[in-house]
Amino acid sequence: MPFICENVECRAVLARGQVRSSHEDNGWCFYCPDCKARNELKDISVPGGPVELIQPERSDLPHKVIATARPLEDGRYAAQLRVQRALGVKGTYAVEERWEQLGVFLDAQEAIAHAKSFATDLLKQKA
Ligand SMILES: [Zn+2]
């Protein structure tokens, strides 16, 4: 099975021969050749046997949250949000959800703050 980079923006699919695993103080890992992100590995070998590395499935992968304020014609701002959710199960693509208008605000900062708190609640719910 190939390794998949855990960086949401990268998610490169890497043949095992493409990555060099290294043993560091806090365990095995490899660095993605594309984005240099550190990816954790787990040694599942039997005691005394050769090292056998797998990529642990994790539910705490980093998510990417993009909160923006879109200026409206009347001078107000619409809160916009994009959430790229890293998959707990291995897959090539992160799932992206988006909201064009979560609410309308007088202030751009307020609109962004609203979109961010919406994202926080959303990620908490499904965690
Ligand atoms: Zn990568």
Distances 31 to 27, 100, 123 between C-alpha atoms, Å: 13, 35, 27
Identify the sign of the CA torsion 76, 100, 62, 13. Answer: negative
In angstroms, the first-to-last Cα distance of the chain is 26
Is 87:61 a contact under the CB 8 Å cutoff? yes
Q: What is the pLDDT of residue 89?
A: 55
pLDDT grade for 90, boundaries at 50, 70 and 90: low
Q: Among all chains, which residue has been given the structure tokens 């992160």?
A: 94
CA of 31 relative to ligand 1 center, distance in Å = 8
CA of 11 relative to ligand 1 center, distance in Å = 6
> How far apart, in whole angstroms, are the C-alpha atoms of residue 27 and residue 1?
20
Q: What is the pLDDT of residue 108?
A: 96
Q: What is the pLDDT of residue 8?
A: 78
CA of 103 relative to ligand 1 center, distance in Å = 34
Summarised one tens digit per residue, pLDDT across range 21-56 is: 999 998 999 999 999 999 999 999 999 999 899 988
